[in-house]
């Protein structure tokens, strides 16, 4: 087998897969692992078969090897079944390090350790706080988190609130704080997709994400009734698994004249971001939302809920509303729509959310696991110490 400059070979699981598969973990992996591959880490990503359509059947992406393994298309079982298969695949094919993403798939960590594999786990958020899960689902997710902090060799957290959670709940202090990142792209000058949707430049408001209760889109629809503006509201996304909530949300939105794009990627998504007047995120729960970082990269005006993950980004106070308060949300949307100047967050993003830096910090953790002299010493190692951006008016042009 061909060696690399680090001598590191890893298998990644817990994600649905890449490229072009919707989800925050998926966006994270699609951005991060090609960079690590280019730096000499030999990366293989296991993808869930249920999400691989005919057009996405690939064996590699930007040098990263892709392996498709079976997964049932059922939210309660797909992650753990697929991750268990991925762990066996890693052992069978000679991998030494498995990188598990999210606490649901972390239930497979005990098997990985039993098979002699070293495990890096990235904690993307306390998913048991999401409203879509029932009692059994929440219990399973909490057990996954327990497995991560007790059995993973190294744990990465993407935000300070997650690190604080692990410290207070599990007395776990050996986490590495490495945030999500964002790829800064030049805005699109095209408007053909906007025209298909009946939208005009700078005369619509967007929200981007899954149609699940914790995203708070029901609050956004309620608040929108009180917003006096000619702008249209656009919801970008859909539900991974159809539910009563998602069907009711789409039905209510359609009656209100809200534009529903479904899942979009590539140039269509660039156009939607590039020409929006305002980005809104009314979430009740996030890890560190990549959609928010993307909105900042397009210099959009922003209104987001004041949950810890959003506060972590450190936007000015006028960009936050009280979570769940639809009257306050309507007021903030109305106010931001009257602001003429678009902010510029480029320097903040390059400093705090740079994928190149994130890749370098992650590779240090892999190297630590391959350094036999460092294993078993129990040292506390905080890689990429990260603080809130604390953006003030002098940072935003």
Write down the H helix ranges in the chain. Answer: 24-38, 78-92, 109-114, 135-151, 160-170, 192-197, 217-224, 244-255, 266-274, 290-297, 308-311, 326-337, 346-352, 355-370
pLDDT tens for the chain, 397 residues long, are 344 446 789 999 999 999 989 889 999 999 999 999 999 999 999 999 999 986 678 999 999 999 999 998 777 789 999 999 999 999 999 999 999 999 999 999 999 999 999 999 999 998 888 777 778 888 999 999 999 999 999 999 999 999 999 999 999 989 999 999 999 888 999 999 999 999 999 999 999 999 999 999 999 999 999 999 999 999 999 988 788 999 999 999 999 999 999 999 999 999 999 999 999 999 999 999 999 999 999 999 999 999 999 999 999 999 999 999 999 999 999 999 999 889 999 999 999 999 999 999 999 999 999 875 344 333 333 333 444 444 544 444 3
Is the domain of 215 the same as that of 125?
no
> What is the DSSP code string of 75-95?
TTTHHHHHHHHHHHHHHHTT-
Task: Mark whether 231 and 297 lie in a shared domain.
Answer: yes
Q: Could you say which DSSP state residue 317 is in?
A: G
Q: Tell whether 338 and 207 lie within a shared domain.
A: yes
* pLDDT score at 340: 86
The pLDDT of residue 247: 95
Estimate to the nearest angstrom the gap between the alpha carbon of 203 and the chain centroid: 27
The phi and psi torsions of 395 (rounded to 5 degrees) equal -85, -25
Q: 240 in a domain, yes or no?
A: yes
Measure CA of the first residue to CA of the last residue in the chain; give whole Å: 51
d(CA 32, CA 180): 9
Tell me the angle at which helices 217-224 and 326-337 cross, rounded to the nearest 10 degrees: 60
Q: Has residue 146 been placed in a domain? A: yes
Taking a C-beta distance cutoff of 8 angstroms, is the pair 144, 104 a contact? yes
In a domain, 186, yes or no: no
- Check whether residue 176 and residue 227 sit in a common domain: no
Assess whether 315 and 366 both reside in one domain: no
Sheet architecture: strand order including 97-101: 60-61, 64-69, 42-48, 9-13, 97-101, 118-123, 154-157, 175-177
Q: What DSSP string runs through 97-166?
A: EEEEESTTGGGGHHHHHHTT-EEEEEE---GGGSTT--HHHHHHHHHHHHHHHHH-SEEEESSHHHHHHH
CATH of the domain at 28: 3.40.50.2000
In a domain, 99, yes or no: yes
Residue 397 lies in a domain: no
Q: What is the reported pLDDT for 391?
A: 52
* Residues 34 and 104 grouped into a single domain: yes
Q: Are residues 168 and 218 in the same domain?
A: no
Q: Determine contact, residues 267/196, Cβ cutoff 8 Å.
A: no
Sheet containing strand 278-281, edge to edge, reads 259-262, 232-236, 204-208, 278-281, 301-305, 320-321
Residue 380 belongs to some domain of the structure = no
Q: Is 377 contained in some domain?
A: no
What's the CA gap between 283 and 265, in Å, rounded? 21
Q: Are residues 329 and 205 in the same domain?
A: yes
User: pTM for this structure?
Assistant: 0.87
Query: Measured over all CA atoms, what is the biggest interatomic distance in the chain, rounded to whole angstroms?
Result: 64
Give Cβ neighbours of residue 51 (< 8 Å, ≥ 6 apart). 16, 17, 21, 71
Number of domains comprising the chain: 2
Do 237 and 209 contact (CB within 8 A), yes or no?
yes
What SS3 class is residue 228? coil
* Domain annotation covers residue 249: yes
β-pair type (60-61, 64-69): antiparallel
Which range marks the domain in which residue 79 is found?
A: 9-181+354-370
Task: Give the separation between CA 96 and CA 136, rounded to whole angstroms.
Answer: 32
Q: Are 211 and 158 part of one and the same domain?
A: no
Same domain for 163 and 19: yes
Residues 300, 171 within the same domain:
no
Domain match, 323 and 360 both = no
User: How confident is the model at residue 372, as a pLDDT?
Assistant: 56
């Amino acid at each position: 087998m061909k060696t690399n400059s680090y001598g590191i070979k890893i298998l990644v699981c817990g994600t649905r897969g890449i490229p072009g598969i919707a989800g925050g973990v998926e966006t994270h992996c699609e951005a991060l692992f090609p960079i690590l591959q280019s730096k000499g880490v030999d990366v293989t990503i296991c993808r869930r078969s249920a999400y691989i359509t005919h057009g996405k059947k690939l064996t590699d992406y930007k040098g990263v090897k892709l392996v498709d393994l079976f997964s049932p298309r059922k939210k309660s079982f797909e992650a753990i079944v697929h991750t268990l298969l991925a762990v066996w695949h890693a052992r069978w094919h000679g991998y030494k390090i498995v990188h598990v993403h999210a606490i649901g798939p972390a239930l497979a960590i005990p098997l990985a350790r039993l098979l002699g594999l070293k495990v890096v786990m990235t904690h993307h958020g306390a998913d048991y706080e999401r409203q879509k899960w029932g009692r059994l689902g929440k219990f399973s997710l909490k057990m996954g988190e327990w497995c991560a902090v007790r059995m993973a060799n190294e744990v990465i957290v993407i935000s300070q609130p997650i690190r604080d959670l692990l410290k207070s709940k599990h007395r776990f202090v050996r986490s590495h704080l490495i945030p999500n990142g964002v790829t800064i792209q030049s805005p699109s000058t095209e408007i053909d997709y906007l025209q298909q949707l009946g939208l005009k430049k700078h005369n619509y408001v967007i929200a981007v994400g899954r149609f699940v209760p914790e995203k708070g889109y029901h609050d956004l629809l309620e608040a929108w009734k009180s917003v006096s503006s000619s702008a249209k509201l656009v919801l970008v996304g859909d539900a991974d698994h159809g539910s009563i909530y998602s069907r009711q949300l789409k039905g209510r939105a359609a009656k209100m004249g809200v534009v529903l794009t479904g899942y979009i990627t590539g140039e269509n998504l660039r156009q939607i971001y590039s020409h929006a007047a305002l980005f809104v995120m009314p979430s009740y729960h996030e890890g560190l939302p990549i959609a928010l970082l993307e909105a900042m990269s397009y210099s959009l005006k922003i209104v987001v809920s004041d949950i810890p993950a959003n506060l972590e980004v450190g936007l000015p106070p006028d960009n936050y509303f009280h979570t769940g308060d639809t009257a306050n949300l309507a007021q903030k949307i109305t106010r931001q729509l009257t602001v003429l100047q678009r902010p510029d967050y480029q320097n903040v993003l390059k400093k705090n959310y740079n994928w190149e830096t994130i890749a370098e910090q992650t590779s240090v953790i892999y190297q630590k696991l391959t350094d036999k002299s460092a294993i078993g010493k129990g040292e506390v190692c905080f890689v990429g110490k990260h603080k809130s951006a604390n953006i003030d008016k002098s940072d935003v042009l």
